[in-house]
Amino acid sequence: MSEDLDIPVAIAPKRRPRNRPASPAMRGERSFLRSTGVGLLWIIVAVSIIMLGWMVMQAFRDTRSILGDPWGLPETIDFGNFVRAWTVGDFAQATWNSAVTTIVSSVLTVAIAAPCAYYLGRVENRFTRSISLYFILGLGIPAQVILIPLFVMLNQVYLTDSLLGLNLVYIGVSMPFTVFLLTAFFRSLPLEMEEAAALDGTTAVGTFFRITLPLAKGGILTAFVLQVISHWNETLLSLTLMQSTEKYTLPVALISFVQQQTYSGADWGGLFAGLVIVVMPMLVIYIWLGRRLTEGLTLGMGK
């Protein structure tokens, strides 16, 4: 019987090579349903990749040939669409605005949230627990709730239509998630090193900066990149707060580019170029740090 064979495998599951169909006892389940599922899954994967590649390809073709043959490939590498999007669609300014806002607000978000998360993770009493809860409540509040009051408030201090205002808003709005993520992360770090440092006479501040932060590099990088992604893609707040073209962030510029087309006729070439400008940084980040991101986004999910 084949069952006899897989008992040692069951005892020492580590010996089994990874990503290999499991032990003989489970080999019988290659059912029809399952292989259809696997086939479907690979089709989904292939379609996703093809769509992405297709979008990039179309960005190098002009509108007429795109409409003529949507499945065609570019004959030459022509950056005309990008040039047009860059100049006519004001994407240059918008990309710059988005890049600066994203980097500045993400750095500051993490810089402000990390000490707070450290404190909440290390000092446990009723007071810090209620502060943690106070932060977590923010996770459930959708942006449209704070949209109008925020607009009114910022308008009174002349921070609407200002990148400074947008940065401040992004930092405030990102606090709940970042504090939540980093608190869980700091809790998972071992306490011993900090105790040793304290015994050697390091102050609490010194311990945080010289021991904990270097240990927490990975978690902090994850939090930072997650903020980069969410700030780069943020649309609703930026659409509300930014009014003049030279202050637009990339998503808002893309929306206004789409809306111009109702009047000036569809410029699909330029539009595809715009989409590629929005998507590419995310693809680069994902290829660079993919595993870390999925781990960060699924961290603490079982709690």
Rounded CA-CA distance 187/121 in Å is 5
Measured from the CB of residue 229, what is the shortest distance to another protein in angstroms? 5
Measured from the CB of residue 76, what is the shortest distance to another protein in angstroms? 22
Measured from the CB of residue 68, what is the shortest distance to another protein in angstroms? 8
State yes or no: residue 100 binds another protein (CB under 8 A).
no
- Residue 131 or residue 221: which is nearer to another protein going by CB? 131
Residues that contact another protein, how many (by CB under 8 A): 108
Region of 20-28, 73-81, 85-93, 214-222 interacting with another protein (CB under 8 A):
20-28
Distance of CA 283 to the CA centre of its chain: 10
Cα→Cα distances 211→46, 108, 117, 149, 188, Å: 45, 21, 15, 41, 14
- Residue 44 or residue 73: which is nearer to another protein going by CB? 44
Measured from the CB of residue 237, what is the shortest distance to another protein in angstroms? 10
Residues 41 to 80: which contact another protein by CB under 8 A?
A: 41-42, 44-45, 48-49, 51-52, 55, 67, 70-71
State yes or no: residue 23 binds another protein (CB under 8 A).
yes
Region of 25-33, 78-86, 88-96, 216-224 interacting with another protein (CB under 8 A):
25-33
Region of 73-81, 85-93, 139-147, 213-221 interacting with another protein (CB under 8 A):
139-147
Rounded CA-CA distance 109/103 in Å is 10
CB 256 within 8 A of CB 248: yes
- Residue 92 or residue 279: which is nearer to another protein going by CB? 279
Measured from the CB of residue 24, what is the shortest distance to another protein in angstroms? 9
**Among 198, 213, 215, 221, which residue interacts with another protein (rule: CB under 8 A)?**
198
What is the identity of the amino acid at 172? G
Region of 74-82, 84-92, 114-122, 216-224 interacting with another protein (CB under 8 A):
114-122
Rounded CA-CA distance 118/160 in Å is 33
State yes or no: residue 152 binds another protein (CB under 8 A).
yes
State yes or no: residue 196 binds another protein (CB under 8 A).
no
Rounded CA-CA distance 82/89 in Å is 10
Measured from the CB of residue 89, what is the shortest distance to another protein in angstroms? 13
